[in-house]
A = this chain, B = another copy of it.
């Protein structure tokens, strides 16, 4: 995504078409969700969105970046992490929602994006930077809150606890180990966060 800071002193020339950006991201998302990663070629995205390839390449020189942006556009809206409330309950609610979401479109698209990152960069680093980091930081803060008030085990680093929860869920999802449900997620969170 190309950041356009809001305090700009009015750029010259024709301004970038906001409609085109949205159309591209929506088309990319729909293609991945509907027909899979392989179908989300730049050519098809261009055809579906009625935005020219040139324009797409201009704003997303890397295919991964486009896929991530398409994913973010939807992912940001779901799975909110409200920071107030009981830490464990909050995390349980979020993990449960995540586990359920993975089964649907969200999981399909997320995997596609990660796969593309690996194929192009050899790792999920870009995905981490653009998506995971913020979420991990937010959740880690909540865990630390819980560690301070004593509701969460304090012998283990908050970041590590986070990885245990979401690593386990992601692993089971990716490799198809059952069950992966809201209930499973809630129990997992409780078990990991209260272990001594």
Contact = CB atoms under 8 A, between A and B. Distances in A.
Q: Range of interface residues on chain A?
A: 35 or more
A175 B128 contact: yes
A47 interface: no
A170 to B, nearest CB: 6
Contacts of A168: 160, 163-164, 167-168, 171
Interface string A168-196: 11111011110000000000100110011
Number of copies: 4
Nearest to A162: B177
Contact of A164 (B122, B123, B136, B164): B164
7 contacts: A124-B175, A125-B175, A127-B175, A156-B191, A164-B192, A168-B171, A195-B195
